[in-house]
Amino acid sequence: MLQLTVLREQTDLVVAGLNKKNYKNAAQEVAALLELDQQRRQVQTEHDDTQAQANSLSKEIGVLMKNGEREKAESYKAQTSELKQKAKTLAEQLTTFEEEVQKALYKLPNLPHESVPAGRSAEDNEVVLEHGAIPQLHEGAQPHWELIQKYDIIDFELGNKITGAGFPVYKRQGARLQRALINFFLDEAMKAGYMEVQPPILVNEASGYGTGQLPDKDGQMYHATEDNYYLIPTAEVPITNMYRDVIVPVEQLPIKNTGHTPCFRREAGSWGADVRGLNRLHQFDKVEIVQITLPEKSYEALEEMSSYIQGLLQKLELPYRVLRLCGGDMGFTSALTYDMEVYSAAQGRWLEVSSASNFETYQANRLKLRYKNENGKTQLLHTLNGSALALPRIVAAILENNQTPEGINMPKVLHPYLGFEKIS
């Protein structure tokens, strides 16, 4: 959530940032919010002055009674009663204004970092680097949705029977490949200094608001309405919310956590190759990395996270590229995002497998996640997260890029986890 002080003191900068994210009516909405905030502050001042007058008169009543000035004391009592009633009315108005200001702030996305390129869609993203050679497949090579049927390792029809479209059943070597990747990703994260946690996969509304999924993604998340819980779209939500309303001792920074969870997303897509098979699911597994850092260290941490994720892709022997997302393609809460895409040889296109983002103070402001600086002043921390990695498209690329007429070779790094070297 953007800070009100920033909106007041750097209004032009805020509007320019929102425009870079292609936020509609940025200038008008910011102006309306600031007017609402001005009204709130006026009511706050009037309330505080009224309350102070009531308190001052209350103190004098006892003195007047003691001095026998009963008539004047009774007059002060009446005035005090009126002032307290006025203060109560003003307090109710203040609560309404505060709620309206909060709602308006929740609607505004984070501001993009200065390095974020302008643009409206994925076509405007900046390619930072490419790594690895594109595999040359044998004649008759198939996309992964054909391969999984051929080797009977993932069953979409069975998942559709049990639940619905987008909920596949992994079996045989497909299930073992899933487990191997999860364990490999977690082991690598712990080697890199991340502490493993196993968080709940249902979160309350406060957690959804804390990391910015609500209200922005309301309707895209699976919602257990009776208990008002939400199935998580990513482990970022519960892991980051572990630190909601926390003042972190500086000596504990940076905080680095990792966790594996299933993820649930209601997002719908049109029919086509871009959403076939494992390309887009409603339930999938992902290992997430989360960092909480001092503000001056957060962009260094983002580069570290990007390099770490690239290292995983290199160990899996997958060709990849790194994109710096443009303003129009960035997430609601992000200040800067790197996307990592692997090349799918059978589909002939790039598949997004990870996003690493710096949220700066946006989530921390919602979470009230803070530290005390060297002067003892409480300040907001910076939060970051990255997929390390999301499994479905990694599995798709491994199957497609490593297929041969005799079977599908597995990356060497996974052999100790799998117990086999080839799907055949």
Q: DSSP assignment of 254-271, as one string?
A: SEEEEEEEEEE------S
Using an 8 Å Cβ cutoff, are 303 and 170 in contact? no
**Mean pLDDT, the chain, integer:** 95
Q: From the CB of residue 22, how many other CB atoms can be counted at a distance below 10 Å?
A: 17
307 is in an annotated binding site: no
Residues of the chain with pLDDT > 70, as a percent, come to 98
Order of all β-strands in the sheet with 407-409: 403-404, 407-409, 422-423
194 backbone φψ class: left, alpha, beta (φ>0; ψ -120 to 50):
beta
Pairing outcome for strands 255-264 and 169-170: unpaired
Task: Give 192's pLDDT tier (boundaries 50, 70, 90).
Answer: very high
User: Quick one: DSSP state of residue 373?
Assistant: -
205 is in an annotated binding site: no
How far, in Å, CA of 99 to CA of 365, rounded? 16
Q: For residues 121 and 269, which has the higher predicted lDDT (pLDDT)? A: 121
353 is in an annotated binding site: yes
Peptide bond into 143 cis (omega under 30): no
Spatial neighbors of 114 by CB under 8 A, at least 6 apart, are none
How far, in Å, CA of 211 to CA of 318, rounded? 31
**pLDDT at residue 144 is higher than 70:** yes
Residue type, 297: K
**pLDDT at residue 321 is higher than 50:** yes
Pairing outcome for strands 169-170 and 154-155: antiparallel
Burial class (CB in 10 A: 0-12, 13-18, 19+), 161: exposed
First to last CA, the chain: 51
58 is in an annotated binding site: no
267 is in an annotated binding site: yes
How far, in Å, CA of 129 to CA of 340, rounded? 10
Domains of the chain: 4-107 (1.10.287), 122-423 (3.30.930.10)
236 is in an annotated binding site: no
Q: Give me the mean pLDDT over the 160-164 stretch.
A: 97
387 is in an annotated binding site: no
- 235 token code pair: 């482990």
pLDDT at 360: 98
Task: Give 272's pLDDT tier (boundaries 50, 70, 90).
Answer: low
Burial class (CB in 10 A: 0-12, 13-18, 19+), 328: buried
Using an 8 Å Cβ cutoff, are 169 and 155 in contact? yes
**pLDDT at residue 57 is higher than 50:** yes
User: Quick one: DSSP state of residue 172?
Assistant: T
pLDDT at 100: 97
**pLDDT at residue 189 is higher than 60:** yes
- 178 token code pair: 């899933």
**pLDDT at residue 378 is higher than 60:** yes
385 is in an annotated binding site: yes
393 is in an annotated binding site: no
Cα-trace Rg, the chain: 27
Beta-sheet strands, E only, within 117-268:
126-131, 154-155, 169-170, 195-196, 202-204, 223-224, 229-231, 255-264
Instruction: Return the SS3 of 57.
Output: helix
Tens digit of pLDDT for each residue in 100-112?
Answer: 999 999 999 999 9
Spatial neighbors of 9 by CB under 8 A, at least 6 apart, are none
Q: Helix, strand, coil proportions of the chain in percent (round to 5)?
A: 45, 20, 30
Q: From the CB of residue 296, how many other CB atoms can be counted at a distance below 10 Å?
A: 8
265 is in an annotated binding site: yes
Task: Give 274's pLDDT tier (boundaries 50, 70, 90).
Answer: low
**pLDDT at residue 134 is higher than 50:** yes
**pLDDT at residue 270 is higher than 90:** no
| Residue tagged 């619905």 (tokens) | 164
Closest CA relative to residue 130, chosen from 323, 287, 302? 323
pLDDT at 267: 72
Q: Give me the mean pLDDT over the 375-399 stretch.
A: 97
